[in-house]
Structure 1
Amino acid sequence: MEKGVKAITLRWVRTWKLKEGKRVAKSRLVARRFQDSRDWSVLETYSGTADASLARVAFLWAVSKGLQAAKMDVSTAFLQAPMKDAVWLHLPSNLPVEVYPGLRAGVFVRIQRAVYGLKDAPKVYTSYFKKKVSSLGWTEIAESILVRKNKKGEIVALLVMHVDDLFIFSPSVDKDVKQIQELFNTDQPERMDNGELHSYVGMSIWMRPGEMLLDQSMYIEGMVKGVSEEAKKPLTEKDLLLSETAETDMSLQEQQQKNVGWLGWAVKTQPSLSFLFSHLSRFNSRPSRESVLASEKALWYAFKTSRPLSLRSIPSLPVLLVWGDASYQLHKKEGRLGVEMQLVDEGELTNLDEIGEHNTVYWLSKKIRRKLGSTTFAELLAMRDALKISWSFIHFARKLWGEIPPVVVVTDSQPLMHQIGSKQCKSEPRMQGELEYVLKNLMELGAKVR
């Protein structure tokens, strides 16, 4: 050990992991990162994960191609990535040397592999993983979403990674799994396309021919066990009209944040909860009895209305269906916008009223942070944001399907439709710049407005 270098101590972290539907105890040594004496300002530490919305698009593409599917975990992932920097650890005195005779308690060691807890360990591992699988032909098309192409340049296989969890889709998935196992130590892989329900922490996946179901019913059922009897009633608009001047009770903050946190996980597959989560999050820092009751009612509503998010096969190039809407409070001159996006078959556009939530890949609800003069202004800003967001889906879908998908934008505002048609905002001239931005994007996207 070099003179003047301080060793990092470690601590035990014990957790539960869900494997094959059962809880399994897991222990791990984790470095105390605050003791790391390296210059953090020059360390590469950022390690992104796959965007959930783009992952849904990727899963939908794989389902549409009829690919085989498997999931596997990289065992003690960080410990498989080489560490270049000189980092020293002081091993604890309570190591299970009787289980691993090669261990020596209390000694100082220079690590050769990334260790859990180090600030740059996630970056070291993900960079190493992507570099290794590139030798198998995998290339990254979006953060943590990789594909493999055939000799014609067509995408034939998909790999979505979330740290050490790998979701693989290909015509011969067992072969791809075996190739990755030759590079990394992994847990026993499981086929996801066998028609069985595969449960993970907070999420279950069920695949059948032409469809993938993302289900959180077990998680949602668990989150309402502590809900009061008073909350087991229909959620009404009145419940959500929470007063900004209501008496704050900070003793309720833990319960408020816990309820909203549960709701925030459930919204991962429930687009209809997007508004409730966004609206109730505002009261995390100023909870009241009314806000806690509203959050409990929202949990009960989620329980009563939850259903799996269905990703259904699309036989040809999909259409990106963009929904934009807004609400407006006249006395406050404030509003909220909502955006949802689906990838659907062109034949489904004949009757928009009959389109369900299947193939919904993106949803958002948020407060508009500017004073508004009318509902039409709020609707215009909703369309503006929807068009901004749609570009990332257009580019990503083009990479997967090889073509730019048609775009259809839906609004229920007749005044906004009139402004788009006339290209003018006569009643509110200050909106003209926003309208011109919307018109420019509609033209560049080749989008139709309905």
Structure 2
Amino acid sequence: MQEELNQFERNDVWELVPCPPSQTIIGTKCIFRNKLDVQCNTVRNKVRLVAQGYYQEEGIDYDETFVPVAKLVTVRLLIAIAAPRSWELHQMDIKSAFLNGFLNEEVFVEQPKGFQDPHKPNHVFKLKKALYGLKQAPRAWYERLAEFLLHVGFQRGSVDKTLFIKKEKQHLVIAQVYVDDIVFGSTSDFLKDEFVKSMSSTFEMSLVGELNFFLGLQIKQMPDGIFITQNKYAKNLVKRFGLDNKKHMKTPMGTNEKLSKDESGTPIYPTLYRSMIGSLLYLTASRPDISYSVCVFARYQSCPKESHLKVVKIIIRYINGTTKLGILYSSDTNTNLAGFSDADWAGDVDDRKNTTGGCFYLGNNLVSRYSKK
């Protein structure tokens, strides 16, 4: 906790002032957690002092809170571009990132319990920079980081605002931002080192190294390509729903199976069903083999029946036997963009609508896929 407060001092986050009248004073609390690696080993014990932002009122304590978030399709696209060019992807983690964002509003917070100034116990902290827990903190941090990257020569993506590109003659650097995690690659070691040096001189880093874990994706960089999987996430998913000891299934669903609303079936409590579907949808980031079946069962979340739950459990039992599967982005391919689409005419049993699906490749490497009706 003392190290966390020292971090505040180094970043000049706040100043101690007398409690102002007629001002909202926001409380603070400590969040303790263990940071784990891919094998679930404890890497670091962390404590975070956060503001109790639920006391804030829109229009009084903050105005705008929107901040763009990295898309998984952009991450896959970056990997698909890097693999055939044999780029080595790296990642950096900015320490206490939100403490670097500048605030446009006047915000006052209580002194942390147990760490009050003994000579000024009734004073409060006036924030100069953002604090974790504030509604506007993510936006303040993104604006600070984007302003810095644009200042050092990067250009912001026109579609994905978390993608930044810097070109110098025939070389370039690509950086993908997800809050305080940044994935980057370059065609030039000099540009890569220059980027790391400029970031380290402005922000305090807690990690700079080879990319191996990002947004729940386990990433293995090899001479013949880049392999992504969600092995850890898949195992936790199966265990979470109590199906880790059940018999494995060979396929997620039958090829000729036609599903319907099953209006005469026995309804079930929807929360469990929706939780299963939500968990499976995130797993499709590296598992296109279950994309179709998961999207089909996602249609019945409003009123799920026992027949739907039974087949969703079959999907999870299939995952239980295939947790190590993922996507290989081969280095032996071209970079031509290609798409494929197919449709099942009047395939929906309930309303006779067409079911369509498709995918896009960069060479032989999958970038995105979709399924709809």
Query: Into which bin does the TM-score normalised by the smaller protein fall?
Result: 0.7 to 0.9
Q: Does 1:341 align with 2:360?
A: yes
Q: Does 1:204 align with 2:218?
A: yes
- Paired letter, 2:23: V
Paired position in structure 2 for 1:246: 265
- Paired letter, 1:159: A
- Whether the 8 Å CA contact 1:324–1:340 is kept in 2: the answer is no
Once residues 38 and 218 of structure 1 are traced to their aligned partners in structure 2, the CA distance between those partners, rounded to angstroms, is 39
- Whether the 8 Å CA contact 2:62–2:135 is kept in 1: the answer is no
Once residues 246 and 258 of structure 2 are traced to their aligned partners in structure 1, the CA distance between those partners, rounded to angstroms, is 12
Once residues 201 and 134 of structure 1 are traced to their aligned partners in structure 2, the CA distance between those partners, rounded to angstroms, is 24
- Whether the 8 Å CA contact 2:94–2:181 is kept in 1: the answer is yes
Shift of 1:228: 7.1
Q: Does 1:117 align with 2:152?
A: no
Moved more, 102-111 or 1-10: 102-111
Considering only aligned residues, what root-mean-square deviation do their CA atoms show, in Å?
2.9
Paired position in structure 2 for 1:9: 27
Shift of 1:329: 3.5
- Whether the 8 Å CA contact 1:13–1:29 is kept in 2: the answer is yes
Give 1:147's match in structure 2, choosing from 156, 165, 168: 165
Paired position in structure 2 for 1:362: 368
- Whether the 8 Å CA contact 2:29–2:51 is kept in 1: the answer is yes
The one of the two structures with greater contact order (alpha-carbon pairs below 8 A, sep at least 6) is 2
Paired position in structure 2 for 1:129: 145
- Whether the 8 Å CA contact 1:94–1:105 is kept in 2: the answer is no
- Whether the 8 Å CA contact 2:260–2:349 is kept in 1: the answer is no
Correspondences of 1:258-269 after superposition (within 5 Å): 258-269=275-286
- Paired letter, 1:56: R
Paired position in structure 1 for 2:98: 78
Q: 1:316 to 1:285 in 2, by over 3 A?
A: closer
Paired position in structure 2 for 1:43: 63
- Paired letter, 2:154: W
Q: 1:230 to 1:168 in 2, by over 3 A?
A: closer
Once residues 61 and 34 of structure 2 are traced to their aligned partners in structure 1, the CA distance between those partners, rounded to angstroms, is 34
Shift of 1:292: 2.3
Q: 1:20 to 1:214 in 2, by over 3 A?
A: closer
Paired position in structure 1 for 2:230: 216
SS of the residue corresponding to residue 114 of structure 1 reads: coil
Once residues 104 and 71 of structure 1 are traced to their aligned partners in structure 2, the CA distance between those partners, rounded to angstroms, is 42
Q: 1:337 to 1:103 in 2, by over 3 A?
A: farther
Q: 1:93 to 1:107 in 2, by over 3 A?
A: farther
Paired position in structure 2 for 1:294: 311
Aligned pair count? 341
Paired position in structure 2 for 1:324: 342
Q: 1:240 to 1:26 in 2, by over 3 A?
A: farther
Once residues 102 and 10 of structure 1 are traced to their aligned partners in structure 2, the CA distance between those partners, rounded to angstroms, is 18
- Whether the 8 Å CA contact 2:38–2:232 is kept in 1: the answer is no
- Paired letter, 2:207: Q
Paired position in structure 2 for 1:418: none
- Paired letter, 1:246: G
Once residues 109 and 229 of structure 2 are traced to their aligned partners in structure 1, the CA distance between those partners, rounded to angstroms, is 42
- Whether the 8 Å CA contact 2:260–2:350 is kept in 1: the answer is no
Once residues 287 and 210 of structure 1 are traced to their aligned partners in structure 2, the CA distance between those partners, rounded to angstroms, is 44
Name segments (4+ residues, structure 1) moved above 6 Å.
Answer: 101-106, 228-231
SS of the residue corresponding to residue 307 of structure 2 reads: helix
Once residues 156 and 11 of structure 1 are traced to their aligned partners in structure 2, the CA distance between those partners, rounded to angstroms, is 43
If the length of structure 1 is used for normalisation, what is the TM-score? 0.68
Correspondences of 1:162-181 after superposition (within 5 Å): 162-170=178-186, 171-172=188-189, 173-181=192-200
SS of the residue corresponding to residue 334 of structure 1 reads: coil
Once residues 118 and 97 of structure 2 are traced to their aligned partners in structure 1, the CA distance between those partners, rounded to angstroms, is 21
Once residues 106 and 341 of structure 1 are traced to their aligned partners in structure 2, the CA distance between those partners, rounded to angstroms, is 60
Paired position in structure 2 for 1:423: none
Paired position in structure 2 for 1:407: none
Shift of 1:105: 6.8
Render the CA deviation track for 1:79-98: whole Å, top value 9, x for unaligned: 11222321111134244x7x
Render the CA deviation track for 1:143-163: whole Å, top value 9, x for unaligned: 11111101x3x4511111111
Q: Does 1:69 align with 2:83?
A: no
Q: Any unmatched runs of 5+ in structure 2?
A: 1-18
Moved more, 294-303 or 319-328: 319-328
Give 1:32's match in structure 2, choosing from 52, 62, 70: 52
Q: 1:321 to 1:333 in 2, by over 3 A?
A: closer
Correspondences of 1:380-395 after superposition (within 5 Å): none
- Whether the 8 Å CA contact 1:83–1:124 is kept in 2: the answer is yes
- Whether the 8 Å CA contact 1:147–1:155 is kept in 2: the answer is no
Q: 1:188 to 1:249 in 2, by over 3 A?
A: closer
- Whether the 8 Å CA contact 1:326–1:337 is kept in 2: the answer is yes
Q: 1:136 to 1:8 in 2, by over 3 A?
A: same
Once residues 327 and 119 of structure 2 are traced to their aligned partners in structure 1, the CA distance between those partners, rounded to angstroms, is 47
